[in-house]
Structure 1
Amino acid sequence: MTPTQLLLAIRARWLTLGSVLLLCVGAGLALVLLLKPQYTVNATVMLDMKTADPIGGAVIPALGISNYMSTQADLIRSSRVVERALKARKADENAEADADWRRDTGGQGSKMAWLAARAQKNLLVTASRESNMISLAFTGGDAQEATDFLQALLDAYIATSIDLRTDAAGRNTTFFEEHLRQLRSSLAQAQEKLSGYQRDAGVLANDERLDVENARLTELSNQLLTLQIAEVDSGSRKQAAKGQIDSTQEALGNPVVGGMTADLARQEARLSELTSRLGEKHPDVQQARANIAALKTRLDDELHRLGNSLGIANSVHATRVAQLRQAYDAQRDKVARLKAMRDQTAVLQRDVENANQAYSDTAARARQASMESQASLSNASVVMAPTLPVKPSRPRPLLTLVLATAVGLLLGLAAAVLRELTDRRLRSEDDVLLLLGQPSLGLLPEQAGPAGRRGLLGFLTPSPVLGTR
C-alpha cells in the first residue's frame, strides 16, 4: 500500500480510527479515575565500612564489601525486620488490615507474616555498587502511613543489626566464661606442679649456679688430665728403672748418686794405678778394693731407694688420679642433675607461661565479647530520612493519557488498515490499474456538495467511487 493509498484509506475509515482512539483515551481516563493514588516514600542509609565492628575495630576487606552490602540489603527486606517495624506500628491491631487478612486467608496462618509479605511486595531495597549507600522505597495508599512505616523500618533495621551482633557476642561471652574457668584451673595446676617440683628438688637450678658447677667440672677435668699425664710419666720412669736405674733421668740428676758415681770412678782409677804399681796382693790394693765394694754397695742402696721413690710417686699419682676421677664423676653427675632439673623446670615454667598466656588472651577476648554484648552501636547512619510525599507516585494522569492517546492512534490506524485490506474499494486511478489490471478510460468529476461538506468534513467524507466512460 502506497502512502497515497494509506491516506485515502485513513480518510475513508476515519470513524474506525476515531472510535478506537476514543476508546483507548476513555480507558486511560477511567484508569486514572478508578485507581487509588499510591505514594512512594524514599530513604537512604549509609554503612561505615571502617567501623563495621565498633568494639573490635575490624575492617571489612575490599573483596567482601559487595557481599556485605548485599547482606545488609537482604536484612532490611527480611521478614524479621519488616515484622518488627509492623509490630512497632501496631499494624496487627488495624481493623482494615485484619479484614483484608481474613478475606484473603480465611483467618488461617499468621497475621503478622501475611502483613509482612504484603509490605515486602511494596518495598524496594537497592544496594549501590559504587558506594556504601542503600536506597529504600516504599509505596502505599496513605502518604503518612507509608512515611511512618518506612521510618519504623529504618529503626527496626538498626535495632535488628545491633541485636544480631549482641546476641552473637552474648553467646561468645558465655563460651569464653566457661573456657576461662577451665583455663584458670589449668593455670593453677601448672603453677602448683612447678612449685612442687622446685620444693621437692630442694634447690633452684638457675643458669648462674649451673655456670658455676660447669666451671668447677671444667677445672676438675683439667686437673685430672694433668695428673693422668704425670701418672703415665711416672709409670714409664718406674718401668725404665726396673731395667737400668743408673741411666734414668732421676739417677743422673740426683746429686748423691752423681757424687757416688764420681767417687767410684776415682776409686777405680786409683785401684788400677795401685794394682799396676804394687800388685794384687798389696795391702793398699786390698784396701782400695774394699773401699770400692763399699761404695758400690752404698750406690746400689741409693739407686734402690731412688727406684722405690719412683714407685711411690707413681702410686701417689695413681691414687690422686683415682680420687680426682671420683670427684670428676661426682661433679659430672651433679651437673647432669642440675641440667635435668633446669630442663624440667623450664618445661614446667613454659607450661605455666602457656597457660597464663592462654588465660590472658581468653580473658581479653571475653572482655571484648562482654562489651560487644552490651554495646548499642551501629555502623548504619540514616543519610536521608523518610519525608511525607506531596504528590502520588501513581497513577500519573498526564502520562497515562499521553500513552492512551499514542496507543489509541496506533490501534486505530491498525484497525483502519485492516478494514481497508479486508474490504478493498477503488479510491484512485492507481487502484484501477492495481486491482483490475485495466487502464482507466476516464474520471467522473466530483459534484460540488453543500457548503457544510467542505473543509474538514469534506476531507473526512469518502470520495465517490471511480467509474469509466
Structure 2
Amino acid sequence: MNVLQFLLILKARRKLILLTLILSVAIVGCISLLLPKAYTATASLVVNMQGADPVTGLTMPSQLVSGYLATQVDIISSHNVALKVVDDLKLAQQAVFQQQFRHDVKGQISIRDWLANRLLGNLDVQPSRDSNVLYVAFNSGNPQTAARLANAFVQAYLLTNLELKTQPARQTAAWYDAQLGDLRNNLEKSQAKLSSYQQSKGIVSLDDKLDTESTRLAELSSQMVAAQGQTYDSLSIQRNASNASASVMNNPVVQSLKADLARSEAKLSQLAQREGKNYPEYQRAAAEADSLREKLASEISTVRQSMNSNLAVSRQREGDLRAAVAAQKAKILAINAQRDAAGVLAREVESAQKAYDQALQRFTQTRLEGHAGQTEVALLSSAVAPLTPSTPRVRLNILLSIILGVVLGIGLALIMEMLDRRVRSEYDLVAFLGVPVLGVLVAQATGRQWLARRGWLGLPAPKPG
C-alpha cells in the first residue's frame, strides 16, 4: 500500500472515520461530565537536613539525603499517621462513616483501621525532584474536606515525626535516670572506702609523706656510711700494731708528756754527772722523771682505752644506724604499700566518678532531646480549598478523545477496507490484477496524477488520453 492508496481509502471511508471521531468525543465528553468531580488540596513541607541538631550538634551526611526523604514519604503514608488523622478529626464517631462501615465491612477490622485505609487510598505524597520539599495531596469530592484532610495529615505527620525523635530519647533518658542511682551509690561507696582507709592509716598526703621519709632514709644512709667509715678506721688501727702505736704516740697529751719526760731525763743525766745520785736535787729530778713515766704510761693506757671505746661506740652507732635504715626502708615499703592500696581505691573512685559523669552527661543530653519541640521538618504552606476540580479534566479528556477517535476511525477504515477490498485507482489494477494501464481519462490533473508524474508513487506516470 502506497500513500495514494492510503489517502484514497481514508477519502472513501471518511464518513466512518468522522462518525467514529464524533462518537468518541461524545462518549468521552458525556462520561467526563457525568463523572463526580474530585478536588485535590496540596500542602507542602520543607525538610532541613543540612542544619546541625540544636542539642547534639550533629549534621546529616549528604549521601543520606535521598534515603531520608524516601523515609519521610513512607512515614506520611503510614497507617499510624492515618490513625492519628482519624482520631484528631473524630471520624469514627460520625454517623455517616459508621453506617457505611457496617454496610461495607464484613471482616474483623475496626472502624479506625477501615477509615485509615480509605484515607490512605486518597493520599498522594511526592518529593520534589530538585529540592527538599514534600508535597502532601489529598483527593476528595468536597474542596473543604480535601484541604482539611491534607492539613490533618501534615499535622499528624509532624506530631509523629516529633514522637519518633523524642520517644526513644525519653526512653533512653529514663533508663539513664535509673542507672544514675546505682552509679551514684557505687561512687559514694568507693569514696567512703577510700576515706575509711586513709583515716585508719592516718594518711593525709601519701606523696608528701613518702618524700619526707625518703629524705630521712637518705640522711640515715649517709650517716650510716660515715659511721661505717669511722668503724673501719678504728678497727684498722686496732688491728695494725704499728698504726695503733703511731696513733697513740701522735696523741698531743702523750707527745707533751714524752717531751717533758725527755727533758726530765736529760736534766737527770746532767745532775748525775755533775753532782751524783745521792744529791737531793738528783733525787727530786729522778722522782719527777718517774712521775712523768707513770703519767705517760697512764695516758697511753687511757688513749688505748679511748680508741677501744671509740671503736665500740662506732660499732654501736653503725648498728643503730643500720637498724634505723632497715626500719626506715620498712616504713617506706609500708608507705608504698599503703599508697598502692590507696591508689587502687582512688582509681576505683575515679572510675566510678567518670562513669557517673558520662551517664549524667548522656542523661542530660537525652532529656533535652526528649523535650525538644522541633524537628528537621517544617510546614512550608498549608492546603487551601481548591477552586477547580482536579478530576475529571474535561478539556484534556476531549483532546485525548479526538486523538483516540482519529486513530480508531483510521483503524476501522483500514479493517473495513481489508474486509471489502475495492479498486479505487489505476494502481490497484496494476497491483492486484497485473493489467497494464494504457491511459486515464481525466478532466484535469488531480493530485494523484501530479504525484505520479513526479514518480513519487513508485509507478510509471500514466499518459493522459
* TM-score w.r.t. length of structure 1: 0.79
Partner of 2:171: 171
Does 2:320 correspond to 1:323? Answer: yes
C-alpha distance in structure 1 between counterparts of 2:230 and 2:66, whole Å: 87
C-alpha distance in structure 1 between counterparts of 2:203 and 2:96, whole Å: 88
Deviates more, 1:30-39 or 1:99-108: 99-108
Residue 93 of structure 1: how far off its partner (Å): 3.5
Change (3 A) 1:311 1:132: farther
Q: Aligned AA for 2:122?
A: N
Following superposition of structure 1 onto structure 2, how do residues 435-454 of structure 1 map, counting pairs within 5 Å? Answer: 435-443=432-440
Partner of 2:228: 228
Does 2:342 correspond to 1:345? Answer: yes
Following superposition of structure 1 onto structure 2, how do residues 40-55 of structure 1 map, counting pairs within 5 Å? Answer: 40-49=40-49, 53-55=53-55
C-alpha distance in structure 2 between counterparts of 1:136 and 1:88, whole Å: 18
C-alpha distance in structure 2 between counterparts of 1:175 and 1:429, whole Å: 96
C-alpha distance in structure 1 between counterparts of 2:52 and 2:87, whole Å: 27
Q: Aligned AA for 2:93?
A: E
C-alpha distance in structure 2 between counterparts of 1:116 and 1:72, whole Å: 18
The answer (yes or no) to whether the contact 2:237–2:244 under 8 Å persists in 1 is no
The answer (yes or no) to whether the contact 2:170–2:367 under 8 Å persists in 1 is yes
Partner of 2:208: 208
Residue 36 of structure 1: how far off its partner (Å): 1.5
Residue 214 of structure 1: how far off its partner (Å): 2.0
Does 2:82 correspond to 1:85? Answer: no
Change (3 A) 1:66 1:406: closer
Q: Could you report, residue by residue, the CA deviation over 1:26-80 in whole angstroms, capped at 9, with x for unpaired residues?
A: 2321331232212111111123336675544543344444333332222111111
Taking only aligned residues, the RMSD between alpha carbons, in angstroms, comes to 3.8
Following superposition of structure 1 onto structure 2, how do residues 266-277 of structure 1 map, counting pairs within 5 Å? Answer: none
The answer (yes or no) to whether the contact 2:32–2:392 under 8 Å persists in 1 is yes
Partner of 2:281: none
The answer (yes or no) to whether the contact 1:50–1:58 under 8 Å persists in 2 is no
C-alpha distance in structure 2 between counterparts of 1:316 and 1:439, whole Å: 160
Partner of 1:310: 307
Q: Could you report, residue by residue, the CA deviation over 1:201-253 in whole angstroms, capped at 9, with x for unpaired residues?
A: 13423433332222212111111111112222222222222x6644x4x2463
Q: Could you report, residue by residue, the CA deviation over 1:147-200 in whole angstroms, capped at 9, with x for unpaired residues?
A: 000111111112222333343233223312221221222122112212211221
The answer (yes or no) to whether the contact 1:101–1:107 under 8 Å persists in 2 is no
Following superposition of structure 1 onto structure 2, how do residues 9-408 of structure 1 map, counting pairs within 5 Å? Answer: 9-49=9-49, 53-106=53-106, 108-128=108-128, 130-241=130-241, 245-246=244-245, 248=246, 250-251=247-248, 253-255=250-252, 306-408=303-405
C-alpha distance in structure 2 between counterparts of 1:445 and 1:69, whole Å: 72
Q: Could you report, residue by residue, the CA deviation over 1:306-327 in whole angstroms, capped at 9, with x for unpaired residues?
A: 5544333222211101111112
Deviates more, 1:125-134 or 1:329-338: 125-134
Deviates more, 1:15-24 or 1:379-388: 15-24
Change (3 A) 1:445 1:69: closer
Partner of 2:413: 416
C-alpha distance in structure 2 between counterparts of 1:129 and 1:321, whole Å: 96
Q: How many residues are aligned here?
A: 434
The answer (yes or no) to whether the contact 1:257–1:303 under 8 Å persists in 2 is yes
Stretches of structure 2 that go unaligned for 5 or more consecutive residues are 267-287, 444-464
Q: Could you report, residue by residue, the CA deviation over 1:336-394 in whole angstroms, capped at 9, with x for unpaired residues?
A: 32333333333323333433343344334434444444454344321111011111112
Residue 444 of structure 1: how far off its partner (Å): 6.2
Deviates more, 1:76-85 or 1:260-269: 260-269
Change (3 A) 1:203 1:440: closer
C-alpha distance in structure 2 between counterparts of 1:292 and 1:39, whole Å: 153
SS at match of 2:317: helix
C-alpha distance in structure 1 between counterparts of 2:64 and 2:225, whole Å: 73
The answer (yes or no) to whether the contact 2:17–2:412 under 8 Å persists in 1 is yes
Residue 402 of structure 1: how far off its partner (Å): 0.9
Change (3 A) 1:302 1:129: farther
Deviates more, 1:184-193 or 1:436-445: 436-445
% identity of equivalent residues: 35
